[in-house]
Amino acid sequence: MKQKFTNYELVCYDKNLVGETPRIRAQAYAPSRFENRYPGCACDVPAHVYTYSFEPNPDWSSFYANAAEIRKYFEDFAERHDLMPFVKLNTRVISAVWDEKKGIYNVEVESNGQRTNDWCHVFVNGTGFLNDWKWPTIEGLHSFEGELLHSANWDAKTDLTGKKVALIGTGSSAIQMLPRIQKVASHVTSFMRSVTWISPPIGANVLEEEKENAKACGKAASQTPQAQYTYTEEQKKRFREDPQALLRYRRTLEGSVASLFDMFIAGSETSKGAQQLMKAEMENRIGPGHEDLKARLIPSWPPGCRRITPGDGYLEALVQDNVTRVHAEISKVVPTGIIDDQGILHEVDVIACATGFNLAFTPPFNVCGVNGVSMADEFQPEPRVYLSVTVPKFPNYFIINGVRGQWAAGTALPAHEQCVEYILKCAKKIQTEGIKSLEVKEEPITHLYEHMDSWHRRSVWNADCKSWYKNNEVGGKLWIWGGSALHFLKTLQEPRYEHYDVQYRTSNMFAYLGNGQTGVEYQAKTAALAGDVHAQLTPYIRIADTPWHI
Ligand SMILES: Cc1cc2nc3c(=O)[nH]c(=O)nc-3n(C[C@H](O)[C@H](O)[C@H](O)COP(=O)(O)OP(=O)(O)OC[C@H]3O[C@@H](n4cnc5c(N)ncnc54)[C@H](O)[C@@H]3O)c2cc1C
Ligand SMILES: NC(=O)c1ccc[n+]([C@@H]2O[C@H](COP(=O)([O-])OP(=O)(O)OC[C@H]3O[C@@H](n4cnc5c(N)ncnc54)[C@H](OP(=O)(O)O)[C@@H]3O)[C@@H](O)[C@H]2O)c1
């Protein structure tokens, strides 16, 4: 907004706590890293493509970055662009209610128990899906007398050294946690009721290249763990001094992720090949024997159906002597431990739940739209969201990569950025063309959903796995984009305003044409223009057929 708008106010509310220093206050910029502090929490997407597409970081210490370093990247970004003045932390949005007469949302927020009111012409919901962690529904869970932890609410002071730990889950969080916990705990009991693919690392080909080069230079000894690579000082210097080299490197990485898309097409050669390769790799890493583990962990559905989970050290940790695997349902929790559905009591000191989140299709606050309709009601039996960014009956309301957005096929940040660009184009139109209400129509969503549902029949996401892409229902509707990451970016490049109903603030829709002159002419008259005034008055006079803008 700082680049593209004049005469605007921007307030970003975030419920997370306020720290004392500006650095700590910048925590709003890496939320999943701020809230998830479990042992081993890291990004499985290569660090150089887990950045804003326009803001590279030559100084990433390693191929995959840990939570602290990712958080620092976002803190530095906020500082460099002086974003904190726009942010109000420790402030939870309670409700946003559309006022049709005024064409605004009345917004109620709460901070330190105090409720206050704000309002806006354009409301943007950036609360994500995976923000509301939940305890598993297990009888007696809170009767446990040891320490009860959740991956998304981890107490950093917890020391698991020498303890008997129960770890529940086989999702990404549990897969990252186990290798760390197994090394320090006296015993880990891993409750694994579901199968999952453990994939090679994302960006594995580039990672392998780095490791080969390091080996050739005699630097391999420092390269631990297995699926990690530490950048040398020379590499970081080169990235700093040669932005084109860094750009080529980032494009190679992003390209290697994008080029895997065929794996998500059911029955494709790439999908079949990936399944064979991952099965062989998992069997190899589990090692000889452990046939029960192989049978109970390796899925029959194709890889990618659930989010791909590279698990460095996970399979190796599972077969250590101090790990017991329980491929059964949990029957109940008692004060001393967990009883499985075979009636066996597993006594433990700590229960670590890596059991996931309440999937937040409906915003975590009350939203009311046209004629007072509530979004929670409108999203029953299912949410109807246009291109993942807006909702009928809720004018001027936008979401960043919401329901049916790009969550499965590529890296996250470009998709988020493209949604933001789309929203800013709409906001600019609302601001400059005297628009009171920009409301998406129902029909485009009906058509979009028909297309997506039919497209998904050919995707591996549609196979028989349980995943949050299908709201954890095997056979459920898919709530992710039907296509590749690039396809999503292209589709959202320009808003199709013909899919919207528009109401103006004035009875004549052209009232915004005003006094018949453009801003730049007016500024030239009042000597408010600095620099080459003639060039600014005549941007269409050019030396080649390049885009111009008044
Ligand atoms: C442990 C973990 C690891 C992950 N790792 C990866 C990864 O490696 N690669 C990847 O692509 N994706 C990963 N993801 C998925 C990840 O959630 C997204 O990629 C990314 O964080 C989504 O960003 P977001 O801004 O949409 O939502 P979030 O990061 O969840 O941010 C939502 C923000 O909204 C705020 N908020 C919520 N409710 C309110 C309210 N009522 N009022 C005010 N503020 C509110 C929250 O405090 C939070 O700051 C991971 C998720 C988890 C949980
Ligand atoms: N990329 C990363 O680095 C990274 C790291 C962490 C998280 N994430 C993201 O965050 C999302 C959430 O990951 P997550 O691992 O926290 O959660 P998750 O994928 O939802 O996994 C939760 C796990 O807990 C199990 N579980 C839930 N309730 C249970 C119960 N009552 N008894 C036994 N097991 C139970 C589930 O089994 P069932 O499957 O049988 O229900 C599942 O194995 C992921 O999809 C991923 O996108 C990413």
Range of the structural domain that residue 541 is part of: 520-550
- Condensed to tens digits (0 to 9), the pLDDT of residues 238-290 reads 999 999 999 999 999 999 989 989 999 999 999 999 999 999 999 999 999 99
Q: Is 258 within the bounds of a domain?
A: no
Q: Do 349 and 364 have their domain in common?
A: no
Q: Is 91 within the bounds of a domain?
A: yes
Euclidean distance between CA atoms 549 and 534, whole angstroms: 14
Last residue of a domain, one of 355, 377, 392: 355
Can you give the pLDDT at residue 26?
35
Can you give the pLDDT at residue 482?
96
Q: How many of the other CB atoms lie within 10 Å of CB of 271?
A: 21
Q: Do 270 and 389 have their domain in common?
A: no
Q: Do 92 and 146 have their domain in common?
A: no
Q: Is the pLDDT of residue 59 over 50?
A: yes
Q: Do 452 and 330 have their domain in common?
A: no
Task: Quote the number of domains for the chain.
Answer: 3
Backbone φ/ψ region at 237: left (φ over 0), alpha (ψ -120 to 50), beta:
alpha
Q: Do 388 and 462 have their domain in common?
A: yes
Residues 6+ apart with CB under 8 A from 142: 135, 148
* Closest CA to ligand 1's atom 2: 32
Backbone φ/ψ region at 82: left (φ over 0), alpha (ψ -120 to 50), beta:
left
Q: Do 547 and 427 have their domain in common?
A: no
Q: Do 453 and 333 have their domain in common?
A: no
Residue range 502-511: mean pLDDT, rounded: 97
Euclidean distance between CA atoms 412 and 417, whole angstroms: 9
Q: How confident is the model at residue 203 (pLDDT cuts 50, 70, 90)?
A: confident
Which ligand places an atom closest to the C-alpha of 167? 2
* Closest CA to ligand 1's atom 36: 127
Q: Is 310 within the bounds of a domain?
A: yes
- Ligand 2 centroid vs 355 CA: distance in angstroms? 5
Q: How confident is the model at residue 22 (pLDDT cuts 50, 70, 90)?
A: very low
Q: Are 440 and 390 in contact (CB under 8 A)?
A: yes
Q: Is the pLDDT of residue 324 over 70?
A: yes
Kindly give the number of the ligand 1 atom that is closest to the alpha carbon of 365: 41
- Condensed to tens digits (0 to 9), the pLDDT of residues 101-115 reads 999 999 999 999 999
- Ligand 2 centroid vs 215 CA: distance in angstroms? 36
Position 111: which residue type? Answer: S
Q: Do 312 and 411 have their domain in common?
A: no
* Closest CA to ligand 2's atom 14: 356
Q: Is the pLDDT of residue 36 over 70?
A: no
Q: How many of the other CB atoms lie within 10 Å of CB of 413?
A: 16
Q: Is the pLDDT of residue 35 over 80?
A: no
Q: Do 441 and 378 have their domain in common?
A: yes
Q: Is 222 within the bounds of a domain?
A: no
- Ligand 1 centroid vs 35 CA: distance in angstroms? 9
**Residues with Cβ within 6 A of ligand 1?**
13-16, 28, 31-32, 36, 41, 43-45, 92-93, 126-128, 130-131, 173, 364-365, 400-401, 411-412
Residue range 170-187: mean pLDDT, rounded: 95
Can you give the pLDDT at residue 218?
65
Can you give the pLDDT at residue 17?
74
Can you give the pLDDT at residue 304?
93
Q: Is 226 within the bounds of a domain?
A: no
C-alpha atoms less than 13 angstroms from C-alpha of 336 in its C-beta half-sphere: 4
- Ligand 2 centroid vs 213 CA: distance in angstroms? 35
Place of tokens 């899906």: 129
CATH number at residue 380: 3.50.50.60
Last residue of a domain, one of 329, 355, 381: 355
Q: Is 238 within the bounds of a domain?
A: no
Q: Is the pLDDT of residue 221 over 90?
A: no
* Closest CA to ligand 1's atom 19: 412
3-class SS of residue 440:
strand
Residues 6+ apart with CB under 8 A from 273: none
Q: Do 124 and 54 have their domain in common?
A: yes
Q: Is 422 within the bounds of a domain?
A: yes
**What tokens appear for 368 in the block?**
């009311």
Can you give the pLDDT at residue 21?
38
Q: Is the pLDDT of residue 348 over 90?
A: yes
DSSP class of residue 259 equals T
Q: Is the pLDDT of residue 18 over 60?
A: no
- Ligand 2 centroid vs 425 CA: distance in angstroms? 36
Q: Is the pLDDT of residue 100 over 80?
A: yes
Q: How confident is the model at residue 25 (pLDDT cuts 50, 70, 90)?
A: very low
Q: Do 114 and 160 have their domain in common?
A: no
Last residue of a domain, one of 355, 388, 409: 355
Q: Is the pLDDT of residue 28 over 50?
A: no
Which ligand places an atom closest to the C-alpha of 309? 2
Q: Is 218 within the bounds of a domain?
A: no
Q: What CA dihedral angle connects 127, 129, 133 and 137, to 10 degrees?
A: 140
The chain-wide mean pLDDT, for the chain, equals 91
* Closest CA to ligand 1's atom 28: 128
Q: Do 496 and 379 have their domain in common?
A: yes
